[in-house]
Amino acid sequence: MDAVEIVERARRMGIVLSAEDGVILARPKGVTPPDLAEAIRALKPDLLRLLARPEPPAAPCPGCDGCAFWRHRGPWVCERCHPPVIDPLERFAVPVSPRRVDTATPNSRNPLIPDVIRDKISAIETEARVLGWPPELLYGGSFWNFPRALSSVLDDDDEIIEVTRDYIAILRVRRDLLRFARAH
């Protein structure tokens, strides 16, 4: 059982877990079964990270101007640029100013990444997201302080050949000299 499963199991039992001052609280009190309490103790650091609620975004998405955000384990993520592939733990909508006109188009997804790189990442995004890769680790985004994203290590000629929970394997196409001879 990982931290997300603990929160979901508790929720099914009508127990709400929260993190306050480095302590995991379960409400209502006195109804948490011993094995769940044991799991909570064992995974306390993970739970504190999961339950610590990041400040919701103060402004629309810088990439697409969208106002709908969601989060599961990590930071708030734009719902239009990165639709959730799993059920989010939380949703948040940035209040829209009535004067703001929504001009976003599908092409505004991650506008700072070259098309060829974005296409390579899009091709594996669903698979990677199911395996727990957060969008900011795939596409980056300076506003989330993730300087080292997949998008920043991929070259135009690279191919993504494997996506696992722990790593994404990239085949670097080497430019070795090859002589194609007419006669052998």
Positions in the binding site for Zn ion (CB under 5 A)? 61, 63-64, 66, 78, 80-81
Residues in Cβ contact with 170 at an 8 Å cutoff, skipping those fewer than 6 apart: 153, 154, 158, 159, 160, 161
Residue 135 beta carbon to Zn ion: minimum distance, rounded to whole angstroms: 10
By beta-carbon proximity to Zn ion, the closer residue of 69 and 133 is: 69
By beta-carbon proximity to Zn ion, the closer residue of 76 and 133 is: 76
Residue 78 beta carbon to Zn ion: minimum distance, rounded to whole angstroms: 3
Q: For the chain, what is the largest distance between any 2 Cα atoms, rounded to a whole number of angstroms?
A: 84
What is the Cα–Cα distance from 68 to 83, expressed in whole angstroms? Answer: 10
CA distances from 106 to 40, 57, 135, 138 (A): 41, 21, 16, 18
By beta-carbon proximity to Zn ion, the closer residue of 44 and 109 is: 109
Under 8 Å between Cβ of 169 and 160: yes
By beta-carbon proximity to Zn ion, the closer residue of 39 and 67 is: 67
What is the Cα–Cα distance from 127 to 86, expressed in whole angstroms? Answer: 12
Q: Which residue has the tokens 């990444």?
A: 113
Residue 127 beta carbon to Zn ion: minimum distance, rounded to whole angstroms: 21
By beta-carbon proximity to Zn ion, the closer residue of 78 and 113 is: 78
Residue 62 beta carbon to Zn ion: minimum distance, rounded to whole angstroms: 8
